[in-house]
Each structure stands twice: as C-alpha cells, then as structure tokens.
Chain A
Amino acid sequence: MKKRQIRAVIKKDIMAVASSFQLWLPMLLLPVVFSLVMPSLLILPAYKYDISERSILEVLDDLPPGELRETIFSFDSTNKQMVYFGVHYLFAPFLLIIPLMAASVLGSGSFAREKERKTMESLLLAPISAFDLFWAKILASFIPAVLLAFISFLLYGTIVNLTAYRLFGGLIFPRPHWLILLFWVSPALSLGAVFLNVFISAKVKGFQEAYQLGALTVLPLIALIAGQITGVLLLSNTVLWLLGAGLWLLDLLLIKRSGRYLDRSKLFATLAS
C-alpha cells in the first residue's frame, strides 16, 4: 500500500465534499434532527405535560430484571421513565442511520463522479494500484461518515444533558451502550455500507445509477439492522459486542473477496462500455 497516494486521494475527495454545498447540506439535515430537534421535543414538554405513552410503558413493564429495569423504575415519575427510555433506546438507531446515509451518498459518488467528470482515466493512468485506489475511495467516504456520527453523538449528548438536567437533577447521558454503538457497531456497519456503495460505484457508469442501485440494495439491508438495534440494546451489551464483531468479520470478508473484481482493466471497462 502506498500511503502517500492514498492520502492524496482521500484529501482530494474530502475537499470536494466540503466544497459542495449540495452534497453536505442534505447529510447535515438528519444529524440536526437527531441531535437537536428530537431530544428537545421529547424532553422539554416533560417539564409541563404528561408525555406518557401506553405502548412504551408496556415495553418498560416487560423489561427483564436487571440494571436497566432498576434504573428506569428508580425514577419517581412516568415522564422521567419515558424520557430516559426514549433518550437512551428509542433514538439510538439514529447513531447508525446517520453515518449510513452519509456512507451511501459519499460511497455511491466515489467512482461514479470520477467517471462523470472524465477524471477516472487520469486516476487509472497514475501509478496507484487498483486496490489502493479502492481503499482510498472507501476511506474518503468512511472517515466523513464516522466523523458525522461522532459529531452527532457529541451534539446529542450535550443537548440531552442540557435539557434534561433540571428534570433529573444531574447528567443522564451517556450509558455504556452508546460507546459500544459509537466505537464498535456504527463504524463496522458504516464500513460495510461504504464498501458496497463504492463497489457499486466502481461497476456502474454514472452517479445516478450508483446512487439508485446503492439505495435499492444496500440501504434497506442496513436500515433493517439499524431498526432492530433497539431490541438488541434491550437484550445486553454482550449481544451488541457480538453484533459488532459479526459486522467487522463480514466487512473483512467482503474486502478480501473484492480484490479479484477490482483490477484496473475491469475498472476501466465501465468507462469504455
């Protein structure tokens, strides 16, 4: 691997995203909703109104015995129970969905935009191996996606603690599962999504095609995993660790097997056809 070349491609791609208003604005929308709007809408009304929701209270009643059940039922009002559960569990999938959205948008554009801009041949004519180029493209989408998840997490945590401080009389964020999600599960899932989108992007002719194919094949699959995360979180942190490990293993397998489909001539073939 040639680090200098990989670094150059990553830097160029990230700068391109940073300078494209149309590209990063939609990607910021979801983090803003997740980090600012949703916790505020849940927490602030709890100071004045009864926000209890029967279906959620039923879920709480069904919680298995353990630390989580004890913590939730140690609160003296259903409002607090609702806020605590919502903040820590109902909104948790967003920490996976945010980097996935970014991964999808950035990954699908990775090679496809080079083809549309007629710069792909310039890259292929340079002394950088197809594998290094592929890795550079993966990292150029993966790094901003993960960064976006980190920023969202920090912002979300800050807003939650600020708005809920008076209600609980102290800081309630984070719980350990957030850290496992942030550092273990979310990067693994993002890498898989980036990988699949970059791979599709390398194989099709243009961005539109890459984006649609990515959205059709990758997003539903990933959204399914993200959607089920609340259930997994309620089971135990060990299951979360295992889920992350499985995802990392899958990533490794995908990347290892992709080599044979990524020679220069095949990358070029999508330009010539």
Chain B
Amino acid sequence: MEKAIISMEKVNKAFLPGIRVIDNLSFSVQKGEIIGILGPNGAGKTTTIRLLNGVLYPDAGRISVAGFDPVSAGDEVRKRCGVLTESAGLYEHMTARDNLLFFAELYGVAEPVRQAGRLLSEFGLAEAARKKVGTFSTGMKKRLGIAKALLHDPEILFLDEPTTGLDPEGSRALLNYIKELNREYRVTIFLATHLLKQVQDFGHRFLFIEQGRLLESGNFAELEGKYLREITLQVETGLAVSGDEFAGFPVIKKEPGYLWFRLESKNTVPLLLEKILAVAPVYSAVIAGRDLETIYFKIREEKR
C-alpha cells in the first residue's frame, strides 16, 4: 500500500487551557483521494487544515503532509499544498492579475506571468484581470482564490468551505473543476464543508468530526452498510393496501399513488417489487434517505 500523503496521529490542540479544539484526532489520506471532512460549525475542520499546513502547531501528536512535518519543515509542506481559505485572502486594492503575480512570487512559480494568465483564463477571469478585486462578486473572488491556490501546481489542495457565497451554478462549476483536477492530475483534495449534499457525489472518503474528535470515517458504501441498516423505499404504484403491510413488508406511510415500505436492507428491494408487480403496476421506486446527510445524523446519534 502506498504511504499516506496526509496523516495525523493522536493530535491534540487547545487554544485555551483544558479546552481542546482538536482532540486525539487520527486519520490518513492516500495520494489522489478526494476526502470530505464533515462536521458542524466549530467542529475543528478549519483548525485541522491549519495544523496540516503548519500555521498552527499541535500540542501533542504527529502530523505528516507529503512526507514532511508541518512544524519543522513547514515551507516544504506549503510548497506542495494549495489552500483556499473561507475568505479567499486576496488583496482587494490590487487587480486580479497583480494578486496572482504576487502570490506566484511567494510560491516561487517559474513563469509567473504565463501561469497567472493561464489560470485567469481557465477560471473565466481574463477580462477582469486588470480590475481591482474589491469590485469583484463573491463568486469571482472564490474563483480567483482557487486560481491562487493552484498557482504552484500543488500536490494537495485544501478547500475550506469552497462554495460559501456561490450560486448553485457557480458551486457546480467549481466542484466539477475540482473533480477534473483530481482525475487528470491526481491532485489530492481535502475538502472541509458542512454542505453534505455537495460532496456526496464526488468524495472518495469522508471524515466526520465533531468537537475536534473523529466520529467516523469511510467511503459511502461502507458508511451506508454500517449506518443505514433499515431503509425506506418509496414506491409510486397503483397498488392499494388496506392494512399496514403488504406481502409481509411493513407499510409505514401511504399517500394517493405512493407507498412507503420499511425494509431490512436494500437486498430485499427486488423481492418486494416483484410482489407488487404481480398485482399492480410500479412507476418508480426510490430509496429514501440514502444520502450522506442521513448517515451524518445517524452517526451523530450513535456516537454522541
């Protein structure tokens, strides 16, 4: 197995004595993975990113990013990582181009002008390149923030609430770009968010944290198998059920044209549908609550 590109081992961090914002946190990330770090506000997502980039030092535990310790070899880590912070961190009195050129110098980019031009075009900002960032919309600032984070072709991209302030179109475009970046260049993506629906489709693995502690981790299939032990199947059908069961399957809700069944697992879906189809038409069948959000609440319920 490849050595983890990011690892945290029993890391603690407290800003005030006795109040840990990161509490015995351990996890690892493989190269090329898209990891969603999920949790409510104040869970420790941003602090985790800061610890991984060496702008905060842990009180205890071990951290390794791209083979380096962020405390003792912080600049080596930061050379290999791009970070989009929640506020984008751009100079509003400077133009978009000047912002990129400045950060290109800081990151030691070989051809700053060419790279800044390429990224401005890629993110649809070529026409606004010479406008001051202060005049930009939130979406434009976010795109410029991403361009800034990608200036030095990082191996790892940290994104802290990247879609905050973006409209649905902007969010989708940004997430598609990130997906593409991961697919084409194998950039490891570490994405902190509380918008679970957005990461469900493209995250390879998820870390659920709360109060600085890791509650659970795994890919969607693993988490689904572990936490969605009972499922609810919504069936659009002409079947009429008088009691609270059909062919031994409990019916938990009825509406004209729709029935909701509680099933022990998704393996029983074909059998139920077969039984219904034998007596009535079926127009659609959807497993309700089969998403990251449901899993998230289940995890919080069980692990608290």
Contacts and interface: CB of A to CB of B under 8 A. Distances in A.
Interface residues of B, number: 29
A205 to B, nearest CB: 15
Given A5-B108, A127-B79, A117 B102 contact: no
A69 interface: no
Contacts of A264: 54-55, 74
B50 A119 contact: no
Contacts of A5: 105-106, 108
B91 A117 contact: yes
A122 B85 contact: yes
Given A4-B105, A128-B106, A12 B91 contact: yes
B108 A121 contact: no
Contact of A12 (B102, B107, B108, B148): B102
Contacts of A20: 93
Contacts of A32: none
Interface in A112-135: 117-119, 121-129
Contact of B83 (A9, A125, A129, A268): A125
B55 A118 contact: no
A125 B108 contact: no
A19 B134 CA distance: 14
Contacts of B79: 127
Contact of B57 (A15, A119, A265, A272): A265
A114 to B, nearest CB: 9
A121 B91 contact: no
A24 to B, nearest CB: 14
B91 A126 contact: no
For chain A, the bracket of interface size reads 20 to 34
A41 interface: no
B292 to A, nearest CB: 28
Nearest to B57: A265
A207 to B, nearest CB: 14
B92 interface: yes
A127 B107 contact: yes
Contacts of B75: 127-129
B92 A268 contact: no
A121 B107 contact: no
A272 B47 CA distance: 10
Contacts of B108: 2, 4-5, 127
B93 A16 contact: yes
Interface in B64-94: 74-76, 78-79, 81, 83, 85, 87, 89-94
8 contacts: A9-B106, A12-B91, A121-B87, A125-B78, A127-B74, A127-B79, A265-B56, A273-B15
Interface of A: 2, 4-5, 7-9, 11-12, 15-16, 19-20, 117-119, 121-129, 263-265, 268, 272-273
